[in-house]
């Protein structure tokens, strides 16, 4: 297989559902080498869920890959549930899953919100982490949320106009609050279209070049509801992060090796956050991909992620 290409499609060797409390049941799967070093894949969003393509970033002959859908996302149940759905409860879930699978420590691999959760988990449980591979860094700051809700209009005015136009004019002064009300409305005729509008907006801005098939996948009803509802919920609560933010806790993981992969033209998570993270983390290596946006599947990002995982294999 040529270096830098995704590994072939592979099925899990084990799957399951795990009760983690508060009425939540999370889906998990294991792929690759059962006796290999463990790597945990953390999906984005919050609420996006994991897909079969995410298994393909890792050499299945070497890594024991653990993938799970976070609370309310993907195949986890109940879909879109916001009760007891915070960053702290997700960290607890990761620890419950780690103990359930008998894993001592693992490499963390996450992009976008997955990078946020990876950093938060590592800061909470540094002794359980071998290192981190992060992509499209999102530090969960209010400025980053404001960029998503408003700033993207500077580069994607058409997509932003469609996003805003879903709301009646009287509701447009508070995009986040108005969308959250609609996304949590029990009527599918209200929350369904709102979820599709939110998710399509995000998908439209995620790649350097237009990718209609990718945008269509964001609009799929089940995926859209988990992503939009949970993302808006987290945005409204400052991502449930400490007041000092993730940069304020970098002393806890300063010793851990890291690989930061960042698209130069990432519009969802602008590069400034990756640069600020790298400046606060001397043990990390920052790799800016010149012709790439936000998506992990863009060729330059994809190749850099696979190479970064390979460098951990050699440690």
Q: For strand 64-68 and strand 24-32, is the pairing parallel, antiparallel, or unpaired?
A: antiparallel
Q: Are 128 and 106 in contact (CB under 8 A)?
A: yes
Q: Where are the beta strands (DSSP E) in the chain?
A: 14-21, 24-32, 38-42, 64-68, 106-111, 129-135, 258-263, 284-289
Q: For strand 64-68 and strand 38-42, is the pairing parallel, antiparallel, or unpaired?
A: parallel
Is-catalytic flag, 303? no
Greatest alpha-carbon span in the chain: 58
Cα–Cα dist 85/117, whole Å = 13
Residues pairing with 67 in the sheet = 29, 41
Among 24, 160, 191, 294, which one carries the catalytic annotation? 294
Is-catalytic flag, 24? no
Among 43, 54, 76, 112, which one carries the catalytic annotation? 112
Among 93, 160, 266, 273, which one carries the catalytic annotation? 266
Is-catalytic flag, 150? no
Q: 17: which DSSP letter?
A: E
Q: Catalytic residue numbers?
A: 112, 266, 294
């Amino acid at each position: 297989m040529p270096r830098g290409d995704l590994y072939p499609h592979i099925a899990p060797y084990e799957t399951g559902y795990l009760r983690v409390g508060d009425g939540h049941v999370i889906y998990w799967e294991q792929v690759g080498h059962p006796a290999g070093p463990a790597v945990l894949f953390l999906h984005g969003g919050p609420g996006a869920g994991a897909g079969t393509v995410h298994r393909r970033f890792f050499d299945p002959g070497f890594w024991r890959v653990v993938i799970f859908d976070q609370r309310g996302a993907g195949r986890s149940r109940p879909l879109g549930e916001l009760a007891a759905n915070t960053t702290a409860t997700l960290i607890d879930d990761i620890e419950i899953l780690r103990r359930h699978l008998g894993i001592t420590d693992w490499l963390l691999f996450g992009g976008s919100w997955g990078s946020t959760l990876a950093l938060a988990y590592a800061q909470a449980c540094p002794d359980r982490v071998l290192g981190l591979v992060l992509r499209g860094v999102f530090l969960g700051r209010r400025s980053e949320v404001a960029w998503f809700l408003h700033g993207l209009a500077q580069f994607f005015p058409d997509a932003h106009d469609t996003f805003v136009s879903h709301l009646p004019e009287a509701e447009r002064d508070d995009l986040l609050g108005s969308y959250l009300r609609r996304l949590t409305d029990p009527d599918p005729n209200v929350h369904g279209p709102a979820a599709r509008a939110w998710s399509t907006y995000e998908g439209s801005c995620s790649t350097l070049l237009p990718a209609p098939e990718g945008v269509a996948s964001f609009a799929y009803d089940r995926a859209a509801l988990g992503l939009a509802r949970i993302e808006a919920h987290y945005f409204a609560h400052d991502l449930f992060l400490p007041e000092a933010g993730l940069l304020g806790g970098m002393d806890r993981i300063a010793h851990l090796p890291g690989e930061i992969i960042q698209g130069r033209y990432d519009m969802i998570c602008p590069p400034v956050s990756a640069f600020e993270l790298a400046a606060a983390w001397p043990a990390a290596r920052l790799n800016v991909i010149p012709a790439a946006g936000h998506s992990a599947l863009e060729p330059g990002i994809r190749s850099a992620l696979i190479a970064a995982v390979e460098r951990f294999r050699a440690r």
